[in-house]
Amino acid sequence: MKTLLLGWQGTALRVQRYALLTKPRVNSLIVFCAVIGMFLAVPDGRPDPAVVLAATLGIALVAGAAAAVNCIVESHLDALMARTRSRPLPRGEIAVRDALLFSGVLGGIGLMILYRFVNPLTMGLTLATFLGYAIVYTLFLKPRTPQNIVIGGASGAMPPVLGWAAATGEVSMDAWVLFMIIFTWTPPHFWSLALYRTADYAKAGVPMLPVTHGAAYTRLTILVYTCILFGVALLPFATGMGGRFYLACALVLNSIFLAHAIGLYFRYSDGLARRTFRFSILYLAALFAALLVDHYL
């Protein structure tokens, strides 16, 4: 009995390690935004539950595969950084070959589900998003330019577009409005993290903006992008995708985000940068949730 119990514990631990390769916290926000896109795409009623289930599963699997590739490529960098050195690959808990096989199986199953049970457009867009993040961003942008987050943010902004395509078989202008919100949100989100992790990025040789241009320039850039985000986040109200409830929520959330950015610029501390990064995650989830609630009011 004891041997059996130890065997189950070992299996559970191994499953947990592989699950960590998919970056589940990041993945959950990706999937959440994709699901919101599915519901917003249907003006009256709700999207087909079978399509929602298949699209959610397929997108989650491909996103997890992309995250695993990112972990494989950056394992040598992760080993140098306090934030990431406890991941399974730097600790030698999973072999690179096994992680690559895991990513391939995960991504292949996800794409197959999207093609078979959703539609080819969603599958194609999801594959392009995978290549954009796992290959273009991870291999070429991140190690070469401080604008990695800005350019690579296009892949991270795709989830609501994928959801829209899954529900309707096409991509409308409203879907690209949702894309622009996430695209504009990404720089202040990541650069607030980079500010209090500058030493880590410098040690790993990653040209994040605070490393290449300094903290003061980064704080100013965060403030500028947050002001732009304030305007972009009001576009759903301007286009009629969101109503007064969304407008009220967007004004409150953006005012809080802007207050964080102003605070970073004028009275910086690592603690405030950390709180800004954490709030930015809550901000995006709450903004999209407000759109969904408003959609059914």
Nearest to 25 by CA among 82, 64, 81, 57: 64
Which tokens hold the place of 37? 């896109």
Nearest to 292 by CA among 238, 237, 246, 226: 246
Instruction: Give the angle subtended at the CA of 56 by the CAs of 51 and 58, to the nearest 5°.
Output: 95
pLDDT tens column, 32-60: 999 999 999 998 889 999 999 999 999 99
pLDDT tens column, 110-140: 999 999 999 999 999 999 999 999 888 888 8
Inter-residue contact 280 to 226 (CB < 8 Å): no
Which tokens hold the place of 74? 């950056």
Q: Give the single-character DSSP code of 248.
A: H
Percent with pLDDT over 90 in the chain: 75
> Cα–Cα distance between 56 and 281 in angstroms, integer?
20
Which tokens hold the place of 73? 């490529």
Q: What's the Cα-to-Cα distance from 293 to each of 176, 177, 214, 234, 277, rounded to whole Å?
A: 20, 18, 41, 16, 25
Residue 8 has pLDDT above 70, yes or no: no
* The pLDDT value given to residue 13: 80
- Hey, where are the domains in the chain? 15-170, 172-297
Residue with tokens 């539950």: 49
Dihedral of alpha carbons 220, 224, 227, 232, sign: negative
Kindly report the pTM of this predicted structure.
0.93
Q: Which run of H or of E encompasses 94?
A: none
> Cα–Cα distance between 176 and 194 in angstroms, integer?
27
Inter-residue contact 119 to 144 (CB < 8 Å): no
> Cα–Cα distance between 100 and 104 in angstroms, integer?
6
> Cα–Cα distance between 101 and 246 in angstroms, integer?
43
* The pLDDT value given to residue 138: 86
Residue 139 has a CB neighbour count (10 Å cut-off) of 14
Looking at CATH, the fold of the domain delimited by 15-170 is given as Tetracycline Repressor; domain 2 (1.10.357)
Which residues lie below 8 Å from residue 201, measured CB to CB, with a gap of 6+?
Answer: 81, 194, 207, 208, 210, 211
> Cα–Cα distance between 65 and 62 in angstroms, integer?
5
The number of residues in the chain equals 297
Inter-residue contact 66 to 104 (CB < 8 Å): no
Inter-residue contact 193 to 185 (CB < 8 Å): no
Conformation bin of residue 214: beta by default, left when phi > 0, alpha when psi is -120 to 50: left
Which residues lie below 8 Å from residue 76, measured CB to CB, with a gap of 6+?
Answer: none
pLDDT tens column, 132-178: 998 888 888 888 888 888 888 899 999 999 999 999 999 999 999 99
